[in-house]
């Protein structure tokens, strides 16, 4: 059974940093691209970043470029999101997702971790 378990969220002040982790199991992690998607309270879904299966390619939405870094450790089957210079508009539930092969659907989602940016 595919499982994605996020951790590392919480309350953080504007301008500070936070690192999210996602522990993957139930599949060969090193064979899949992975992505982070966020959802602000009572809002819709927003793609944040994607990383290729081997970590060689990364993609970001414009609003987080230069502030967020997606990375992975295939030996540990773990995905990361380093978030720097956090802003109030980054407040959201962050989901770890697996990128499927055929058309790149987000075929499995973690339960999500809440990040609140507030003073």
Partner 1 sequence: DTVLTQSPALAVSPGERVSISCRASEGVNSYMHWYQQKPGQQPKLLIYKASNLASGVPARFSGSGSGTDFTLTIDPVEADDTATYFCQQSWNDPWTFGGGTKLELK
State the residues that interact with partner 1 by CB under 8 A: 35, 44-47, 50, 59, 61-62, 95, 100, 102-112
List Cα–Cα distances, 115 to 1, 6, 50, 79, 94, in angstroms: 27, 11, 19, 17, 7
Q: Tell the smallest beta-carbon distance from residue 89 to partner 1 (Å).
A: 16
Least spacing, CB of residue 104 vs partner 1, in Å: 4
CB 13, min distance to partner 1, A: 27
Q: Which is nearer to partner 1, 39 or 77 (CB)?
A: 39
Query: CB of 95 within 8 A of CB of 6?
Result: yes
Residue closer to partner 1 by CB (options 47, 53) is 47
Nearer to partner 1, 80 or 94 (CB): 94
Q: How far is the CB of 16 from partner 1 (least distance, A)?
A: 25
CA distance 118 to 74: 33
Q: Is 119 exposed, middle or buried (0-12, 13-18, 19+ CB in 10 A)?
A: exposed
Two structure tokens written together for 25: 């199991």
């Amino acid at each position: 059974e595919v499982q994605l378990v996020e951790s590392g969220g919480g309350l953080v002040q504007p301008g500070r940093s936070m690192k999210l982790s996602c522990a993957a199991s139930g599949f060969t992690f090193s064979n899949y691209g992975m992505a982070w998607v966020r959802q602000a309270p009572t809002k819709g879904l927003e793609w944040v970043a994607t990383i290729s299966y081997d970590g060689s390619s990364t993609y970001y939405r414009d609003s987080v470029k230069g502030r967020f870094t997606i990375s992975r450790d295939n030996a540990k089957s773990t995905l990361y999101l380093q978030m720097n210079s956090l802003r109030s508009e980054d407040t959201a539930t962050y989901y770890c997702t697996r990128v499927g092969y055929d058309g790149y659907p987000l075929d499995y989602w973690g339960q999500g971790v809440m990040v609140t940016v507030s003073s």
